[in-house]
Amino acid sequence: MDNSFKLEQKHLTLVHQTLQETLDSIEKLMSDNANQAKNFKKTAGKETALNFDSYADNLDTFAAIETMNKQIDSFNNKQTQLQNTKSSVTRLLPAPYFARIDLKYPDETESIPFYIGSAGFSPTPEEPMIIDWRSPIADLYYNNKIGKTHYLANERKINVTVATRRQFLLHNAVLDDIFDTDVAIQDPLLVKTLQENKNSQMSSITATIQQEQNVIIRDTKSTALLVNGIAGSGKTSVVLQRIAYLLYRYRDNLVSSDMLLLTPNTLFTNYINQVLPSLGEESPLQMTFNQLMTTFISKSISFESETSHVQELASKLDNLALTATDFKNIKLNDITIFSQEDIKQFFDQTPKTMSLTKRITALSSILTDEIESKIEHDSKNGKVQAELSDLTDSQQEKIFGRLISPSSDIAVQKATKKMLLWRNRQLLKQIDQKDWLNIAQIIKSALNTQQINHLDYTFTRLKLLNLAQKRLRFVMIDEIQDYSLDQILFLLTAFPKAHWTLVGDQFQSILESNHPLTFTNLKDLFEEHNITVTQRNLYTSYRSSGAITTAFIKHGAPDLLEKINTIQTGGKEPVHVENKDFSDLITSLSLQVESLDKHELSAIVTSDLNLAQAIHDKIKQTVLGNTAEKLPASGIVVLPLTLAKGLEFDNVIIADANSKYYLDSQFGENRIYTAFSRASKTLIINSVTD
Ligand SMILES: Nc1ncnc2c1ncn2[C@@H]1O[C@H](COP(=O)(O)OP(=O)(O)OP(=O)(O)O)[C@@H](O)[C@H]1O
């Protein structure tokens, strides 16, 4: 072992030195390349005389331009490559790799060591010094395989024998420890990582991804993947690693904007925001469900109803018979061009056998054709043509981009047509955007109601205006248990071509709702859309100590107690404190806060924002409300449970564990489970008897 340590230290020194030398030389290579490109452009520009005198000259000139462009592309590609190497090397220097796996291939006598890091690095193309954690070989490492096995590279099965699986604790060029691990029952690197203080920012788990998590991260077979995991089992971490994995795996044709990550609130979005950049990847589109809805509505509207009826609308809309009141007059400069009745008549001309969405698209074309034929007709009318001469210079500039003087009849007609199209541009836009559809009225008649709900409105608009986004390839949803089936149906309609990663925890369903989502219903809904759902369960508690894990599992999910695994076994038992009244609570909280380490991150979790505010007013900790954007790096925050969910703290103080909120017959136990499970080291539970 001693000798192994020495050899590994020697290897690390060499790798670190090579990384450092690469970084030192790369700046110069980049500036040399940029200068060469600049000089090339200057001289090539002069030398490539543009000669279009004859057909042959044209060909020569085009060939010369083509050669010049190719050379410029090659300079650009080289610069991008150098930039990528620079950013990988910069990320690798503080921790060049975290593991090693030795593989023996069938026709080789010696095994080959592969060092695995958060990025790949090869000083020469034939010699990978560090392999990327997402490469096929690294899959063997995460799968804990020792002995004969295989991996897939470019869909080809490669047989190998895994001889050694080794972990490293290191920083920069200094090796702190090495662990040879055959089976990761005890994962020393993992335990050490988990014991570190919590932070205002989540970190990546690349070095310590566990087998059950790896399977989820690398799943490319399932169209919908549902991860049901207990609190602190790494669901959010897995989603983020999965995004980075998919961007690597499909790097030739997938960009981050082809992915959408739905998050519960802005505080949470900021909490996870550093992970992907630290993995060298761009973040996907990230938003809350409400923010997503606004992208499907063109103006701000106020809604009266809290209850949505998307499933009912989905079944009714396609066969709805529209009446004149379901349309709005189409006006230009206060003059009605098409009345509701006109539109209804055109609507009746569309085939009744088509779905309503298709009939509306057809109707839109009919209306556009009507306007365009009128323009065509008017453009031949001498009186209208005469209006051309009334146009001022600036109007001509706007319409034609220049001053005009049409000389032939055809030129006059063409210019008149252009003028009329310009005058009617708002009208054509209105028709195209289908502003003439009275969405609210359509919902009212479909549902026989007077009050409109936000989601119903957005869904109806999405469906009737055919606004589905087929380009989006992956949708990731965190905290899926907080969504309603109606919201999921909306998403399935909005992103018909997407692959789905849904992660959540049934026991963290804490929001009052008449129909909380069950995973069985969720799966049924996907299957109704011909999407098979693969479900994976995560039963290992990474965040919380053994004592805290037992405490929260006993509340929300007592039946699971036998199944749960805890990485950080033991720990301090939760402390219960009874208080007579609010002022007693404040005295207790002040003492409890005093006892906590100020360098750690701690939270006082309340049942609602008012109590958080009241506690803040008395003991002046940072209070976080619904619009909070960021957690502090350390210290104490006071926040309601609805905001704390998804986040984590070293220490958690529950302010009012016996309030109505936590005693609620339907959601109370889930709320306690969620609140307790925010803590990793210390949990103090206050109740107020008064
Ligand atoms: N394989 C791992 N290696 C190191 N840390 C891990 C690993 N898996 C999870 N963790 C850590 O455990 C904590 C909980 O992870 P995460 O927040 O992803 O869990 P979660 O299931 O989304 O939790 P919750 O549902 O309670 O919000 C984080 O600090 C995360 O870094």
Q: Indicate if the pLDDT at residue 88 is higher than 60.
A: yes
Q: Residue 87: give its domain's CATH number.
A: 1.10.287
Does ligand 1 have an atom closer than 6 angstroms to the CB of 275?
Answer: no
Q: Which one has a higher pLDDT value, 214 or 197? A: 214
Q: Whose CA is nearest to atom 9 of ligand 1?
A: 234
Q: Are residues 27 and 113 in the same domain?
A: no
8 Å CB contact between 565 and 186:
no
Q: Which one has a higher pLDDT value, 78 or 11? A: 11
Is residue 547 a part of any domain in this protein?
no
Q: Are residues 351 and 281 in the same domain?
A: no
Distances (CA, A) of 419 to 148, 388, 390: 76, 8, 11
Of 35, 70, 93, the last residue of a domain is 93
Residue pLDDT, tens place only, 647-685: 999 999 999 999 999 999 989 999 999 999 999 999 999
Helix axes 340-348, 356-378, angle to 10 degrees: 110
613 CA to middle of ligand 1, Å?
A: 29
Does ligand 1 have an atom closer than 6 angstroms to the CB of 210?
Answer: yes
Measured distance CA(637)–CA(67) in Å, rounded: 62
Q: Are residues 278 and 357 in the same domain?
A: no
Residue pLDDT, tens place only, 388-415: 888 888 998 999 988 888 888 899 999 9
Q: Are residues 485 and 533 in the same domain?
A: yes
Q: Which of 228, 222, 225 is nearest to 504 (CA)?
A: 228
Q: Are residues 121 and 182 in the same domain?
A: yes
Does ligand 1 have an atom closer than 6 angstroms to the CB of 357?
Answer: no
Give the type of residue at 319: N
Q: Are residues 477 and 525 in the same domain?
A: yes
Q: Are residues 610 and 677 in the same domain?
A: yes
In this structure, what token pair is assigned to residue 275? 């992970």
Is residue 321 a part of any domain in this protein?
no
Q: Are residues 208 and 119 in the same domain?
A: yes
Residue 514: the pLDDT is: 65
Q: Residue 634: give its domain's CATH number.
A: 3.40.50.300
Residue pLDDT, tens place only, 455-472: 999 999 999 999 999 999
Is residue 551 a part of any domain in this protein?
no
Q: Are residues 285 and 191 in the same domain?
A: no
User: Binding site: which residues?
Assistant: 229-236
8 Å CB contact between 610 and 623:
no
Is residue 177 a part of any domain in this protein?
yes
Residue 57: the pLDDT is: 66
Q: Are residues 233 and 208 in the same domain?
A: no
Residue pLDDT, tens place only, 295-311: 999 777 888 888 899 99
Residue 46: the pLDDT is: 64
Looking at 34-43, 262-271, 283-292, 429-438, which range is the least confident one? 34-43
Of 177, 196, 218, the last residue of a domain is 218
Residue pLDDT, tens place only, 561-598: 888 999 988 899 999 999 999 999 999 999 999 999 99
For tokens 């050669």, the residue is 67
Is residue 106 a part of any domain in this protein?
yes
Is residue 301 a part of any domain in this protein?
no
Ligand 1 atom with the shortest distance to the CA of 674: 26
Q: Are residues 340 and 413 in the same domain?
A: yes
DSSP 627: T
Does ligand 1 have an atom closer than 6 angstroms to the CB of 187?
Answer: no
| Predicted structure pTM score | 0.89
Handedness of CA 595, 586, 201, 667 (dihedral sign): positive
Q: Are residues 370 and 430 in the same domain?
A: yes
185 CA to middle of ligand 1, Å?
A: 18
Residue 182: the pLDDT is: 65
pLDDT band at 51 (very low <50, low <70, confident <90, very high): low
User: Binding site for ATP: which residues?
Assistant: 229-236
Q: Indicate if the pLDDT at residue 249 is higher than 80.
A: yes
231 CA to middle of ligand 1, Å?
A: 8
For range 475-487, the mean pLDDT: 95
Q: Indicate if the pLDDT at residue 628 is higher than 60.
A: yes
Helix axes 546-556, 668-676, angle to 10 degrees: 170
For range 212-219, the mean pLDDT: 96
Is residue 550 a part of any domain in this protein?
no
Does ligand 1 have an atom closer than 6 angstroms to the CB of 677?
Answer: yes
Tell me which residue range forms the domain holding 471.
224-296+451-538
pLDDT band at 45 (very low <50, low <70, confident <90, very high): low
Residue pLDDT, tens place only, 501-526: 999 999 999 887 767 789 999 999 99
Of 37, 60, 93, the last residue of a domain is 93
Q: Indicate if the pLDDT at residue 198 is higher than 90.
A: no
Does ligand 1 have an atom closer than 6 angstroms to the CB of 480?
Answer: no
Is residue 548 a part of any domain in this protein?
no
Average pLDDT over the chain, rounded to an integer? 90
Q: How many domains does the chain have?
A: 5
